[in-house]
Each structure stands twice: as C-alpha cells, then as structure tokens.
Structure 1
Amino acid sequence: MARAAVLHAVGDEALDLRDDVTTVDTGPDQVKVKIKATGVCHSDLSTLTGVLPSMPPTVVGHEGAGVVAEVGDRVTGVQPGDHVVINWTPDCGTCAECLRGEPYLCMTFIARSFSEPNFRLGDGVPAFGMAGTGTWAEEVVVPGRGVVKVAEDVPFEYAALLGCGIPTGVGAAINTAKVRPGSKVAVVGAGGVGLSVIQGARIAGASTILAIDPNEAKHPVAKQFGATHTATPDDLDQTKGLLTGGAGFDYTFEVVGKAAAITTAWNATRRGGDVIVVGAGAADDDWTLNAFSLLFDGKSLKASLYGGCDLKRDIPLFVDLWRAGKLDIDSLISRRIRFEDLNDAVAALRSGDVIRQVVLFD
C-alpha cells in the first residue's frame, strides 16, 4: 500500500489523500518507480479544474523523479536502483511524429492513459494516473520509455523539475524559438515556467528580456532569473517604446494559457517576429486575429509543447547547465513540503503566491 492524492471528480476543492493505493503489476515493457520528489505544477491545477482532460478517479501529478524499483522483461536502458526523471509524454519511437524527430508530439502513450488505469484504490476501484503517470503517489508504473536516467548527484527535487517546468520553459526558448544572441525577448507571465523561459532566453544570449506580469511582487524574482526589465500589462506600451523604439520584441512568449495573454504577446511582438504559445489554455478559450494582420504583420505564431524537448537529449544538457551555474533550479523551489500538505499546496497554487512547491516523500 502507498500514499497517493486522488481526484474523484473534476471541480473537487480537496484531493483525497489516501494511504491504501497500489499500482498495477509491472508489465514487460513497463517500469515501477518509487517517487522521491514531485512538483506541484499549474497543469496539475488545470487537471483539477477540468481545463486539462482526465479520467477520474485520477492520481494527480506528472512532474516527478525517483528510483527504479522494478523493470519489465523487455525494458532496456534502466535497472533497479537507477535514479530517473518521469517523462509524461514518452515517445513510442515508431509513430509519424517520432520518426519526424518530434517526440513531444507523440500521442501513443497519452492516448492509452485514458483507457488503461495504472492504480487500484483500497476498495479495488481502478484509478488512472494524470497523463499516464500520477506522480503524487509514492509509487508509479509507467512505460519503460517514460523514464530518463539522471546522474545520482542531482538532488531529487531538482530532478523532478527536469520532468516538466524546466524543459517546458527553457526548451521553449532554445528549441522552439531558437532565440538568437543579442535579440530582444518578452515573456508574458512570470510563474514557474515563465521564469524558466527567462532563464532559457538568458542562456541563449538575449540582450533584452522583459518580464510582463500584473503582480509586481514577481518582478524582482524575474530579474533574479535574468530579466533585464519588468512591466505590468498596463505599462507595456510605454515599456515597449523605451526598449524597442515602439517596434516590438523579436520573440514574445505567452506563458499564461489565456487567449487575452496571447493577444498581449502578439501586440508586443515586432513585425516579422515570433509569438510562442507555452501556456496550456482551455478548449473553449478562443483566440482570434483578422486575416489582414496575420499576413501583413509577417509575424509567426508557434506552439511550444513540452518545450519541443526530447528529454533523452535535453535532460543531460540541463544538468550540464546546472553544474556550470548557468541554470538556477534551486531558486525555482518556493517550498519543500510533505505529502499531507498537498491540499494546502493546491490552495497556494490557486492564489499564485508560489513559484514551485515540491513534495518530498520519505
């Protein structure tokens, strides 16, 4: 039996924190991982509210790291005792997206996660894992391709963030946008992923990085991670004028998940510049633009799913950047908490008072 945080119905205010949950048996192509640390991400909140789809009862959580406990007969590359990061979008290696070199678009295992439960509650009821994972549990069973080995000197709470927040943000800058040295960047939203975008832009050599957030308390934090300037949406036009002569930014990242934020990003971008959508928005939150502007402004609108990352390639890169002192992971962690604090952590996430909270399991 293990502890796990279960969502019984979309919209529930509180999670059911249980200690009677078990995983399904480890299949020949699967791995069982004992979770040591798991992040509390805004996408988890989106699952609770229904913005992201789920199959209740659902064990929440998707950003985690731990130790391999069991491996199936056909699994290669990892063995019991290895430290691993959970990859919530594992690549199958054979679909069209994988063969095109776009593993972050692979839907093979994500699709299965809506029909194949990977937990059982104490009364025998099957439960699904968020995105096929469910890292707010002490143990998970995931596809063998759903773990990435990480060096043992990487603290588990750091490794957990390598499973979502850091690749989504840093990857958006270096993989999706391919920010060029000396360019001017704006980031709409200075939450955990937004701060990772800022770090990615800094690492890529951007000369100007503007953090845009209505909460001015986040502005000093954004500068800590590499923003050269800050602004609220209300004073964005004036700031754009001061920093770009009114032309706009080369790259603007939307990291909120709202149509209104995409509009803000679009208006902040220069003609011929790139608008990169990173935030996960709701299916009924439509964004519109007139056809004339779409063509004659010459701007490109790009989606950045999972930061365009191949975690097998990019996690070692992020670890090297961390070791070199160029990627600040520790400062992204607002609080280290226990399992029993998860409902309080969700409340703090709703209020926007934290960057990243990390659950540490015993």
Structure 2
Amino acid sequence: MRAAVLHTIGDDKFDLRDDVTVVGPGPGEVHLRVRAAGVCHSDLSARDGGLPQPVPAVLGHEAAGDVIGVGEGVDDLRPGDRVAVNWTPACGVCAHCRRGEPYLCLTHVMTGYVMPRFLAGDLPVFGMAGVGAFAEEMVVPRQGAVKIDADVPYEVAALVGCGVTTGVGAVINTAGVRPGESVVVIGCGGVGIAAIQGARLSGAPVIVAVDTVPAKHDVARRFGATHAVTPAELGDLSAELTGGEGFDYAFDVVAAPQTLRTAWTAARRGGTIVVVGAGRDHPKVEFSPFELLFESKRILPSLYGSADPPRDFGRLLALWRAGLLDIEGMISRRLRLEQLGDALGALGRGDVVRQVIVDGS
C-alpha cells in the first residue's frame, strides 16, 4: 500500500512509498482501510517537534474508514463496518479509566511510541499516537475503532475523530458552558471553529472569536461567533460588551504563552480559562500566587475535549444529522497523499485553512 513516511523531525518533505505494510492485526486489534483523514495542527506539531514523535513515522490521527479484518478476540466488528478512529483508546482497567477519565488513558498511546505499526520494506515505522492515518491502511486497538452508521460520509466521521470532538467537547464536557454565559475563543482554526459551534449549542449569547488573521473572522461568524476581532482589539470589545468585567469563559485553542495570557486577561474574576491547544513543552507562563488567589480564575486543561469517544461520537453525529452542527462546512478542500506537505505548510503559515481532508479512497 501507499503511505507518507516522515524520516526526520522538522523535515517539510514526506517520503511517499508504495511498499508499506501494516503490522498485525494482533489479538484485540482491527485492520482498517483509511477512506479519509483530516490534517490537524497536531500533525504539524509532531512533524516540527512540538509534540514527541519517534521517527520514521506515518503521521495522521484524525480518520475514518472501513474494517478489513480483525484480530483474535474482536467479535463485535466485521469486514465492511464503517468506523471513526479514536486516537486515545481507553484500556478500561487503568486508574484513569476506573475514575471515568478515558481521555487521560495513555496505555495504547504509549504503546504507539515503542511499537512500530508499519513496515516500509524492512524498515520499522511508527504511527502517530499509535495510529498513522496518512496511509491507505492501518491497524488500531479495538477501542480505537468506533462503529458508525454506514451513511455517515467518511470526511464527516474523520473530523469527529479529533477536531470536532476536541472543540465541541471543550465547551460542553470540560467547561460545561450554560445558556446565558459569555465565551471568547482564541484561535479560529478547525478546533476553534468547533469550539465556537459548541458555544452556540450551549446557548452562549455572546461568542467572541479572536484571531490574528482577519480573513478568519468572517469564517468564525458564519459558524456562530457574534463578534470577531484581533487580539489587539479584544480589550476594547470586552469593555463594550462586559463593562470591562470580562467573559465567563475563555478558550485558548493555540496554547502559547501570549495566548494563554490573553485568555487570562479576557476572563472575568472567578471566570474560567480552558486550555484546548497542545502548545509546546518548553515555553513557560508565569502567574503570581497573589493573582491566582485574588482573581480566583480557574484554569482547566481539556485533552481531547474530555471525551468518551464511544459515547460522544454518536452524540456529535446526532447533532450533525439534526442540522445543529455544521461539519461539512469545516472542510476547506480535499487532497491526495502527495499534497500533505503543502497542507501542513499552510497550517504553519496561518493561512485560512479550517480542515483539509486526505482522500484515501
């Protein structure tokens, strides 16, 4: 099969090979044909070293496809079933799973860092987060394949697999925004647009989109933002809308020191800052003990939208079916594997790219 292999962290070129095979499926695993994969900013971060990634690797973690085969012990999926990929499959037995925190389970993700999921000729190749969606086929744990209805378009299911779940989940699951509360979303890429839609679904009457790229403001308004500004304009807008008090919730989808400080300033005293973006591990953000106490603001991390994918994928698709969640509108263009480098480059430049789909059919 074909797959796009990254050999060196920081390289902007992929080695498109046609001699790649999957490893497995072993017991408890599922062999998939990839039909569509989203290009997520986390793929760019893995390529550039912002997220840890052993190489050589097949990147990509936001995908949907069809079951080709199953390993021993998998008796509830069969060839031809349509699935969306859950890149943080829960083991069901670790301390986090027992606490009802499946999104914090690292059992299968960590296995992906030590166990290659592909062979390129004789060369072992890792899959990003144990997945590797920039290939025509892949193998995932059973918990990593969530069965969906056969009429759900692959590209819709792929975006539910990460970007939609992360953004909407941050608002609904992590923050629990209630009707009447105000929201500001910093960063209007694919996940930011999903967060804006989550705020609209939650009944927020004021949804402010913040992005340094003015061209993204009209996009944000189309998906439900009531206002859209650059970071430099946010203070004046806050004074106008809240009398300078600030917003109930500030979602930082970028997760850089500057954006986290912007989110902190934008939230009211007693408000909540939700960290949605992965950021990088070396920049630091400083807060004094006094301001943490005196401002009494909460800082909440939202990994994968605090989601339980076997439950939440179906809920999000139900909202999509009802016309309440626009997922098709988040797809800006379709690509082939050969165009991955250009797509990641556009994300790195901050171009108006909401979500792109790699067509694996």
Is the shorter-chain TM-score for this pair beyond 0.5, marking a shared fold?
yes
Whole-Å Cα distance in 2 between the matches of residues 17 and 349 of structure 1? 20
Q: Deviations over 1:91-142 (max 9, x none)?
A: 00000000111000001011111111110002x0100000000000000011
Q: Deviations over 1:306-356 (max 9, x none)?
A: 000000000110011001111000110010111222122122222222111
State the one-letter code of the partner of 2:196: I
**Percent of aligned positions that are identical:** 54
1:342 has 2:340 as partner: yes
Pick from 167, 170, 173: which aligns with 1:172? 170
Asked if the contact 2:5/2:17 (under 8 Å) is kept, the reply is yes
Q: Deviations over 1:159-179 (max 9, x none)?
A: 000110000000000000000
Whole-Å Cα distance in 1 between the matches of residues 67 and 105 of structure 2? 24
State the one-letter code of the partner of 2:62: E
Whole-Å Cα distance in 1 between the matches of residues 350 and 99 of structure 2? 38
Whole-Å Cα distance in 2 between the matches of residues 107 and 76 of structure 1? 24
Pick from 145, 148, 163: which aligns with 1:147? 145
Asked if the contact 2:213/2:350 (under 8 Å) is kept, the reply is no
Whole-Å Cα distance in 2 between the matches of residues 319 and 14 of structure 1? 35
Whole-Å Cα distance in 1 between the matches of residues 188 and 28 of structure 2? 39
SS of 1:114 mapped into structure 2: helix
State the one-letter code of the partner of 1:140: M
Whole-Å Cα distance in 1 between the matches of residues 132 and 117 of structure 2? 9
1:22 has 2:21 as partner: yes
Q: CA RMSD, aligned part only?
A: 0.8
Whole-Å Cα distance in 2 between the matches of residues 159 and 203 of structure 1? 19
SS of 1:345 mapped into structure 2: helix
Pick from 239, 245, 248: which aligns with 1:247? 245
In the TM superposition, 1:1-362 aligns within 5 A as 2-122=1-121, 124-353=122-351, 354-362=353-361
SS of 1:110 mapped into structure 2: helix
State the one-letter code of the partner of 2:332: S
Could you state the TM-score of these two structures normalised by the residue count of structure 1? 0.98
Q: Deviations over 1:151-208 (max 9, x none)?
A: 1111001100011000000000000000010110000111110000000000011010
In structure 2, list runs of 5 or more residues that go unmatched. Answer: none
CA displacement at 1:257 relative to structure 2: 2.3
Q: Deviations over 1:7-59 (max 9, x none)?
A: 10101121111111100121011000000000000000000000000110000
CA displacement at 1:77 relative to structure 2: 2.6
Whole-Å Cα distance in 1 between the matches of residues 348 and 274 of structure 2? 24
Whole-Å Cα distance in 2 between the matches of residues 270 and 223 of structure 1? 23
In structure 1, list runs of 5 or more residues that go unmatched. Answer: none
Whole-Å Cα distance in 1 between the matches of residues 75 and 143 of structure 2? 9
CA displacement at 1:272 relative to structure 2: 0.5
Whole-Å Cα distance in 1 between the matches of residues 113 and 212 of structure 2? 36
Per mean C-alpha deviation after superposition, the further-off stretch among 342-351 and 90-99 is 342-351
State the one-letter code of the partner of 1:162: V
State the one-letter code of the partner of 1:199: Q
State the one-letter code of the partner of 1:121: A
State the one-letter code of the partner of 2:118: F
Whole-Å Cα distance in 2 between the matches of residues 187 and 13 of structure 1? 30
Structure 1 segments, 4+ long, off by >4 Å, are none
Q: Deviations over 1:50-102 (max 9, x none)?
A: 00001100001000000000111211332111100111100000000001110
SS of 1:79 mapped into structure 2: coil
State the one-letter code of the partner of 1:111: M
